[in-house]
Amino acid sequence: MLNIKDLRAGIEGKEILKGLNLSVGEGEVHAIMGPNGSGKSTLANVLAGRDDYEVLGGSVLFEGNDLIEMSPEDRARAGIFLAFQYPVEIPGVSNANFLKTAVNEIRKSQGLEPLDSKDFLILMKEKLALVEMDKQMTSRAVNEGFSGGEKKRNEIFQMAMLQPKLAVLDETDSGLDIDALKIVANGVNALRDGKRSFVVITHYQRLLDYIVPDFVHVLYNGQIVKSGTKELALELEEKGYDWIKNEVAV
């Protein structure tokens, strides 16, 4: 589904990803862990198509198509979803209006009729339950005045509404207390259907107790330096990242 080959990318002239390789198959959950500054967020932003990040080399194919050439909206329409590390507040645009526009633009790109208000409300109600969000949240402006936990839940809610093929979760667990973390993880798990793929980027192993990955990769200094299964995450938790750093140095 997703094939990243020798990806080099950076921001403001500084190379951060230095030849990253990653292959994600259908229905797989990949966790990407790494110390601060290793390039985790750069990877998420490059996948979503953020302008500020420059791709310097390598390739990213999504279902065989060159992702790098696609605009952010086209990536979303093709089925990629990024759950933001820092969801943006958009005053004056209601959550419901925002999502309705997004759902219908994606449907339009697939040649589908727009959802009418009734069907949209039914869909929204169903997905709200998934992340235990109150209906009132949909009439509020996007993320405005939301707590940290509410913002992250809102990301998962959007993911549920847009039903992507590949979801990239950028440190969705950071700053969450354990209750909020469980709600977010439950939302994600409910969307695991054997076809949808996930790239879960995290600094902490804790999240992986709740979202159990098929593969764990360690990102360090712009490259994936170690890959394994969920046991690798536990090892990292126990030994810390210095162990990896030393291993790479050797």
Q: Which residues bind another protein (CB under 8 A)?
A: 48-51, 71-73, 75-77, 82, 84, 87-93, 97-99, 101-102, 105-106, 109, 141-142, 158, 162
Which CB sits closer to another protein, 110 or 231?
110
58: left (phi over 0), alpha (psi -120 to 50) or beta: left
In whole angstroms, how close is the CB of 73 to another protein at the nearest point? 5
Backbone angles phi, psi at 242, to 5 degrees: -60, -35
In whole angstroms, how close is the CB of 250 to another protein at the nearest point? 40
In whole angstroms, how close is the CB of 245 to another protein at the nearest point? 32
Instruction: Give 55's contacts (C-beta < 8 A, 6+ positions apart).
Output: 7, 8, 9, 46, 68
Which CB sits closer to another protein, 93 or 234?
93
In whole angstroms, how close is the CB of 29 to another protein at the nearest point? 21
Which CB sits closer to another protein, 42 or 223?
42
How many whole angstroms separate alpha carbon 56 and alpha carbon 46?
11
Kindly state the DSSP code that residue 155 receives in the 8-state scheme. H
Which CB sits closer to another protein, 76 or 131?
76
Residue 220, classified by CB atoms within 10 Å of its CB into exposed (0-12), middle (13-18) or buried (19+), is: buried
Residue 227, classified by CB atoms within 10 Å of its CB into exposed (0-12), middle (13-18) or buried (19+), is: middle
Which CB sits closer to another protein, 200 or 224?
200
In whole angstroms, how close is the CB of 85 to another protein at the nearest point? 12
